[in-house]
Amino acid sequence: MNVIFQIQGGLGKSVAGTAVLKAIKKKYSKANIIVVTEHPQVFINNPNTNRVLQSHQTNGLYKTYIDKKDVKVFFADPYHHTDFITEEKHLIAIWCEMYGLEYNGEMPEIFLSKGEKEYFSQFYKLDKPIMAIQPNGGALGQPLKYSWTRDIPASVVNHVINYFKSDYAIVHIKREDQLIYENTIGAMDDWRSIAIMLTMSSKRFLIDSSSMHIATALNLPSVVGWIGTNPKVFGYEMHQNIVANDFTKEINIEHNAYSKNLLFEDISTFPYNSFDEVFNVEEIINNLK
């Protein structure tokens, strides 16, 4: 039997999808499992798949794996499920349920090779313990440099940096077009090198983005800030999930259709009177300590 599992979305979603892949493998242990994703590097060395295709490399997929074959295709998007829209269950549980898979708390996983670890770790041998931060999310080319629904306000980030800068080398995970913070070091190369940096870090301050899912896959408890997205749906209990304060300003968002707000929201819909109202900074610092 061929089982085709296609993931639509960004890097973090593909990392979360490795948990679903594990549930697929448990149910279809003898199947030939093909993963289709925008981020095939996530599945390098993953023992639960037989082949990984990038989304634009699917020419001949039907003829090779579907036509006159015993096949199951898992292509439905959990973002369209009622339980996701109403925020009733975790993304991975919803995903498994959609595909008729038994969910037993499977977690994301990535597999880093010894060669990768040896090569990239030499670039992060710093004179202080590492504190990794990712205050902003989104892939390169996103139209917004700051989205209030999940990005940490700069005033909060600077407060955290200033508190820990004397004792930690603060490595900043960011897009090339995002804000550069003083007293930080930019993370290098691709996300697999960032994953290795995370394994070398002593503290991690992250958001609902790829690094949070990667830290989860590597069993690295972190402090995670949440504003417009819900840790019940996207988060993991292993982390210290710091939820933003209640909105202090009434907003009217009419473009959001099935969501309370979009993942990328312009500052014009910012639901607070000031950035200082978003988080209790001392709570973040105390959890990082």
120-143: pLDDT as tens digits: 999 899 999 999 999 998 776 777
Do 127 and 232 lie in a common domain? yes
13 vs 37: CA distance, rounded Å: 10
Ranges of H-type helices in the chain: 11-27, 61, 82-85, 91-98, 114-121, 154-164, 191-200, 210-217, 231-234, 281-288
In a domain, 114, yes or no: no
Percentage with pLDDT > 70 across the chain:
98
Confidence of residue 263 (pLDDT cuts 50, 70, 90): confident
Count of domains observed in the chain:
2
Do 149 and 262 lie in a common domain? yes
The residue out of 63, 98, 133 marking a domain boundary is 98
DSSP code, position 204? E
Tell me the whole-structure pTM to 2 decimals.
0.94
In a domain, 158, yes or no: yes
Do 92 and 161 lie in a common domain? no
Tell me the one-letter amino acid at 116: E
Do 170 and 77 lie in a common domain? no
Range(s) of the domain holding residue 14? 2-98
Do 78 and 154 lie in a common domain? no
Question: Does the structure show a pLDDT above 90 at 257?
Answer: no
How many other CB atoms are there within 10 angstroms of residue 246's CB atom?
8
The per-residue pLDDT for range 60-112, each reduced to its tens digit, is 999 999 999 999 999 999 999 999 999 999 999 999 999 999 999 999 999 99
Do 224 and 277 lie in a common domain? yes
Do 179 and 237 lie in a common domain? yes
For residue 265, the model assigns a pLDDT of: 83
For residue 176, the model assigns a pLDDT of: 82
Question: Mean per-residue pLDDT for 152-157?
Answer: 96
140 vs 129: CA distance, rounded Å: 28
For residue 178, the model assigns a pLDDT of: 84
In a domain, 247, yes or no: yes
Do 30 and 62 lie in a common domain? yes
Do 48 and 138 lie in a common domain? no
Confidence of residue 52 (pLDDT cuts 50, 70, 90): very high
Do 80 and 222 lie in a common domain? no
In a domain, 241, yes or no: yes
Confidence of residue 20 (pLDDT cuts 50, 70, 90): very high
Whole-number mean pLDDT of the chain? 94
Going by C-alpha positions, the residue among 201, 146, 213 that lies closest to residue 175 is 146
For residue 195, the model assigns a pLDDT of: 96
Residue 285 φ/ψ, nearest 5 degrees: -65, -45
Do 125 and 81 lie in a common domain? no
Q: Are 94 and 83 in contact (CB under 8 A)?
A: yes
